[in-house]
Chains A and B, each alone.
Chain A
Amino acid sequence: MEFIFPASFSIDAFLQRLTRAWPFQEKTETTGRRTCFDSFDWRLYARGYTLGIDSSGRETWLILRQEGGTETRRRLPGPTPPRFAWDLPEGDLRTILSPILELRALLPVVEIQYRRWHLKWLNKDRKTVLRLEVEQNLAVAGDDGPHPLPGRVRILPVKGYRKAEKRIGRFLGNEPELSPAGEREWLTRALAALGRRPLDYSSKFSLRLKPGMRSDLAARSILRHLLATMKTNEPGLRADIDSEFLHDFRVAVRRTRTALSQFKKAFPAPAGERFGVEFAWLGRVTGEARDLDVFLLNFEHYKASLPPAMRNDLAPFHGFLQKHRKQAHERLLHALDSDRYRNLMADWDAFLNQPLPDHPDASHALLPIERLARRRIRRVYRGILRKGRAITPESPAEALHDLRKQCKKLRYLLEFFQSLFPQEQIKGLIRILKRLQDNLGEFQDTEVQQRRLREFSREMIREGDAGADTLLAMGVLIQNLEHRRNQARKAFARCFARFDNRKHRKRFKTLFAKPRPEEEENT
């Protein structure tokens, strides 16, 4: 059982009240530092976990607590925090954290200095029957110096001695300034005291639109949201904290491009064209680093796909990737420091924030967004059906690549407009679409990766990085990718048929149907 008290709470008086009323016979005091960690997108907090590094004296512990009380801890050799789940030593913590964090790095969320009183209630055999911790907290960092944070009281019950726990629980429950709350709640309040809010970033697109909104206004809200995502990810991308900052940044760029083309009649034409060109450029200049990221992230997987005797031959390739990844990141920073990027961001921001004209020239500007949404989704959906149905086993790869692009557009449209439709239904449709996208993605990605591997091997020879064994191993990788590509191509017909079945067609049709004339009049 845990309680929180406000920073203004008088701990001395409380400790006096406590020890006067109950037989706490041992009282020790420690001081230390605790840093709470989470990924940039709050994966731990969202799942009810808090992760902290607690250093006191010579001891440093990594402690993971789950809402409801279970605690997993591990002693660390020093105060340096693990950056990724894979940096943790094998064991419980790594097993729990790996699937949650995936590729995301751990970042400090709040750093505190604590003073902690440990109290023990002993029975007549001097046996501990209850432990209690009272903690006073102070945020370390802050522009205006240390900042007092809410404190905590934790009852650490001793198994088999329920009576003591119940009695002290009642006593604490009657303390007016204590409120029962776990560590997650404490973290929420501590962050609030520092002016931060948990879950303030998610890579999922989520924006609430009103069905009757003017289309130009709605389109701007969507684009402003995407611009904010780019800006939020930029510092992490520059600092190269983990690969997902660049990934999310690029997704926001792609979504922006889709939005520009899908809502082009909601904007004045010249503006749309200019920004379309500029965001295409931004997509290109961020592409190289992402490509290399993908290779590095897949590296273990590639390695495992080789016969065991060849696996170590791939080591020079890893070195090559890292070297080029570093150079690509430098080039990316150069692009982000360029006038072109600065102007793009400033002009785009200004464009999205300029006042809306009362009588816009763009033909769709005043259309209620719900109608535009339905219309766009219907169009793109129909296009996918038409293009997909035309694909035969003999069709060229480009036909599938083109279909993949259309699917991406539909996916973004569904995500942009999810707040206008019943949530469960939209989610269901996204799931159906995602299965088809996975197949098309596998087909194209394995092709692109083969091409890149050939290019890499030529570059490696030029740079003197590759011996015959490495090149042979890369050849086997290309062969494996070709096999996967063929599998994906073979599976396409089945995947598309599943997407294009009557049940799903009906779901799309009912959800995005054109409003009947009388309904249209009402709108």
Chain B
Amino acid sequence: MKILALYSIKGGVGKTAAAVNLARLAAGDGAPTLLWDMDPQGSTSYYCRIKPKLKGGGKKLIGGQCASGDLIKGTDHERLDLLPADFSLRHLDLLLDRGKKPVRQLRKVLKPLAAEYQYVFLDCPPNISLLSECVIEITDAILSPIIPTTLSLRTLDQLTGFIADHHQGGLDVLPFFSMVDRRKKLHREILTTLPERCPGLLRTPIPYASDIERMGIERAPVCDYAPRSRSARAYRMLWDEIKERI
């Protein structure tokens, strides 16, 4: 089982859209896949038409009183399941902090699922917190969307610094461009200059497109309602690239 975390310190960078689309593509390739919506806003759950609610709340899930397998819901897509969000996940930091060994608690949630799923995508909330530290410990790769702007580049530096401080190595950090608008000069410039500075960067940029914004209306991944669109093709190429790198 490979655990891939969609993580960015900054919000609104296309993290959830990427998580849903990449997980959908993984499942479409034949791999049993789980999406874990860790963000209390529950956007991933909304896209999957599943209520952002966990029986017993985040407390029982993290505390181990409720088996993670019992809380999982199947999505509209074969082989793609979801561990939904819950509003109580806003206190996930506190819950992890309250118990002993927070990393182990998080691992315990996923351990029983190892035989069942080939990929687990974690849609993480945007911040730097105890949860992020734990996620960095348990994942095989961090997929981090970056908008080609100055501020986003700053957060990328912060992220790599943060990972260097909290992880002993062996973790793939795979940033990729997201919400790219080629009409903007700054976007075009950063698109050409950043790859030299950041060797881990994935080559496929995800465009800023209304197709992706429509996910909220369609409540489905782009490749389902606009399979031939530029965005769907970009996610496909990105996923192929990720598979090669992990």
Contacts and interface: CB of A to CB of B under 8 A. Distances in A.
B73 A128 contact: no
Contact of B81 (A72, A92, A128, A159): A159
Nearest to A61: B30
Nearest to A128: B76
B30 A158 contact: no
Interface in B11-38: 29-30
B139 interface: no
A156 B74 CA distance: 11
Interface in A62-117: 72-75, 92
Contact of A158 (B71, B74, B219): B74
Nearest to A62: B30
B49 interface: yes
30 contacts: A61-B30, A72-B30, A73-B30, A74-B30, A75-B29, A75-B30, A126-B49, A126-B219, A127-B48, A127-B49, A127-B50, A127-B76, A128-B74, A128-B75, A128-B76, A131-B78, A156-B78, A157-B74, A158-B73, A158-B74, A158-B75, A159-B72, A159-B73, A159-B74, A159-B81, A160-B71, A160-B73, A160-B74, A161-B73, A161-B74
B152 interface: no
Interface in A115-129: 125-128
Enumerate the 5 nearest inter-chain pairs by beta-carbon distance, A residue then B residue, closest first: A158-B74, A160-B73, A159-B74, A127-B49, A73-B30
B118 interface: yes
A264 to B, nearest CB: 57
Interface residues of B, number: 15
Nearest to B84: A160
A60 to B, nearest CB: 11
Contact of B72 (A92, A125, A127, A160): A160
Contacts of B73: 158-161
A74 B72 CA distance: 24
**What's the interface size class on A, roughly?**
10 to 19
Contacts of B74: 128, 157-161
A386 B106 CA distance: 66
Interface of A: 61, 72-75, 92, 125-128, 131, 156-161
Contacts of A127: 48-50, 76
Nearest to A59: B28
Nearest to A120: B76
B37 to A, nearest CB: 14
Contacts of B30: 61, 72-75
Given A127-B48, A159-B74, A159-B81, 14 more contacts: A72-B30, A73-B30, A74-B30, A75-B29, A125-B49, A126-B49, A127-B50, A128-B74, A128-B75, A128-B76, A157-B74, A158-B73, A158-B74, A160-B74
Contacts of A92: 118
Contacts of A156: 78
Nearest to B48: A127
A75 B243 CA distance: 14
A250 to B, nearest CB: 40
A127 B45 CA distance: 12
Contacts of B29: 75
Contacts of B118: 92
Nearest to B29: A75
Nearest to B71: A160
A157 B76 CA distance: 11
A128 B220 CA distance: 12
A436 B69 CA distance: 50
Interface in B40-77: 48-50, 71-76
